[in-house]
Amino acid sequence: MCGQGSAGSGTAESSQAATPRPAPPEPLGPESLTWRYFGGWRGMLFGPWAGSMQNMHPGLGAGVEEHSTFFDERWERLYRSLYPIYGVVFDGARAPETAAKVRGYHNTVKGVDKHGRRYHALDPGTFYWAHATFFYSLVVSIEWFDGPLTVEQKHRLFDEHVQWYRLYGMPMHPVPESWEDFLAYWDRMCRTVLEDNKATRDVLDLSNLGRPPFLRWFPEGVWKLIRPPVTAGFLWLTIGLYDPPVRELLGYRWSRPEQTLHALVGRTIGFGTKLVPWRYRYHPRARAGWDRACGRIPADTGLLETPGRNLPPLDRRDSPVHYSPDVANRHRPTAVSP
């Protein structure tokens, strides 16, 4: 830890006094477990899991099917989306502003799905489900990579995810009251709400996946040869991360030997990441947050934005649903960049 913070507290006013305005939500800081574990590059392995779990929600899946162009620019969309997603956790005092922008990207995502059901991305239950998948993927990833969390750590992470969610300014009634209530909520969603739909299958269809950005130098012909086993491996990892009711919903089988091997793979990856210097285990937006907190760069340094190579196509950059910063004036501090 390179900095400490404390949650604000208040006192109750007399019944004769005016009702005080609620304190603004306080961003998470470097003392949190969420900062320690969220925002790492190893979390990229959870991309298909998180995307498919989100899209199985009827309202979220409909919004993706009818409004998203994710599959036209899969890698670019993923890489640029990580900047504001991680920013809500790592942007410090500016995190509420980042959260408001993220919420704003969803304002126009609404309609009626093919079953005649109305949906809106800002429906409280729908929006919270997306957040719940980020939170639960964090818990699952920690245990897959590093081993079991204590009950106290799970309660702490749960409380932090509530603090994190408050930054969006969304109604809080869908949020469970405790870690135990969250587990019941998650199980109910998996068993009775989630559905197998086109948006989910599109996430899991990696057959035409292009080369990731860090392999642009790799010959296209060679990539096409190795893509089937590589993507099959990613799908296998994803299937192993699902809860049993989700695997059953999607028609996947899973054996005990596969579970043993899957756990071994996770721990091996976790061990491997410990060999990387800690700063470079983090995505640049998260690393910049740590650098500000640790005094490596000034606290008022401009927020790190996605590089131009990840921006939407030119004809979509003015769309209100896209994060599309002005990268011509983007500040990229040398202390942050690898």
Residue-wise pLDDT for 30-81, tens only, equals 999 999 999 999 999 999 999 999 999 999 999 999 988 777 888 888 999 9
Give the pLDDT band of residue 5 (cuts 50, 70, 90): very low
* Maximum pairwise Cα distance, the chain: 76
* Residue 118 or 15, more confident: 118
- The per-residue b/e assignment along 247-286, b for 16 or more CB within 10 angstroms, e otherwise, is bebbebeeeeeeeeebeebbeeebeebeeeeeeebbbbbb
Residues comprising the chain, all counted: 338
Q: With a cut of 60, say whether residue 186 has pLDDT above it.
A: yes
Q: Where residue 314 falls among pLDDT bands split at 50, 70, 90?
A: confident
| Contact call for residues 173 and 181 (beta carbons, < 8 A) | no
Q: How far apart are the first and last CA of the chain?
A: 21
Average pLDDT over residues 178-194: 98
Spans of all domains in the chain: 33-306
Q: For residues 17-27, give the mean pLDDT.
A: 69
Check whether 333 has a pLDDT greater than 70.
no
Q: Determine the pLDDT at residue 14.
A: 34
Give mean pLDDT, residues 270-282: 95
Tell me what pLDDT residue 89 has. Answer: 98
Q: What is the pLDDT of residue 44?
A: 93
Task: Give the pLDDT of residue 326.
Answer: 85
Is residue 336 predicted with pLDDT exceeding 80? no
pLDDT over 90 at 299, yes or no: yes
Q: For 171-195, what is the mean pLDDT?
A: 98
Q: Which H or E element spans position 118? A: strand 118-120
pLDDT digits (tens, 9 = 90+) for 211-262: 888 888 889 999 999 999 999 999 999 999 999 999 999 999 999 999 999 9
pLDDT surpasses 70 at 29: yes
Q: Is residue 119's pLDDT more than 80?
A: yes
Residue 71 pLDDT: 75
Half-sphere exposure of 73 (CA within 13 A, CB side): 15
pLDDT of residue 250: 98
- Among the listed ranges 19-28, 80-89, 186-195, 299-308, which one has the minimum average pLDDT value? 19-28
Of the candidates 282, 283, 330, the residue with the CA atom closest to the CA atom of residue 303 = 330
pLDDT bracket for residue 318 (50, 70, 90): confident
Name the burial class of residue 67, with classes exposed (0-12), middle (13-18) and buried (19+) by CB atoms within 10 angstroms of its CB: middle
**Residue 281 reports pLDDT greater than 80:** yes
What's the pLDDT score for residue 20?
Answer: 58
Averaged pLDDT score across all residues of the chain = 90
Q: Report pLDDT for 288.
A: 97
Residue 125 pLDDT more than 90? yes
Look at residue 169 and tell me whether its pLDDT is greater than 50: yes
Give yes or no for residue 7 having a pLDDT over 90. Answer: no
* pLDDT of 10: 35
